[in-house]
């Protein structure tokens, strides 16, 4: 696949710190201007302080001033393509809305869907 967003997620995956789960994940988010921000999962012995790749990528983009996003890619070394976990779906909805999500693996397989398909009834500010 020649998608720069997926390539960034795959590359970020190589920097994952996953000594406990051994489950390295890379993610990348593309803002409305086309800038790409990548992140990897970073584990901690307490597990609860572990941060997923998707959240690292979003925080990185936001810390650089991006606020509007159009796509997210998630890459893992799995046969079945790995979607964002529940916590990441919530964060992605809050900060990215119903963006395009590209799931990819190391074999070159990919699937594209909308975040709304993964999180059909999101909790967000309109419910407060």
Catalytically active residues are 54
User: How far is the C-alpha of 90 from the C-alpha of 120, rounded, in Å?
Assistant: 11
Report the run of H or E that residue 71 belongs to, with start and end: strand 69-76
**CA 15 to chain centroid:** 14
> What would you report as the CA-atom Rg of the chain, rounded to the nearest whole angstrom?
14
Q: Using CA atoms, how far apart are residues 13 and 33, in angstroms rounded to an integer?
A: 23
Ranges assigned E (strand) in 1-128: 25-31, 36-40, 69-76, 100-105, 110-114
């Amino acid at each position: 696949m020649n998608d720069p967003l997926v390539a960034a997620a795959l590359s970020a995956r190589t920097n994952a710190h996953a000594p406990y789960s051994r489950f390295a994940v890379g993610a990348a988010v593309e803002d409305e201007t086309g800038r790409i921000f990548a992140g990897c999962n970073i584990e901690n012995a307490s597990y609860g302080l572990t941060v997923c790749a998707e959240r690292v990528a979003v925080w990185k983009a936001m810390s650089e001033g991006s606020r509007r996003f159009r796509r997210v890619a998630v890459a893992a070394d799995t046969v079945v393509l790995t979607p964002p976990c529940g916590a990441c779906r919530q964060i992605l909805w809050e900060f990215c809305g119903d963006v395009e999500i590209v799931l990819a693996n190391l074999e070159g397989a990919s699937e594209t869907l909308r975040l709304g398909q993964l999180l059909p009834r999101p909790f967000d500010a309109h419910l407060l």
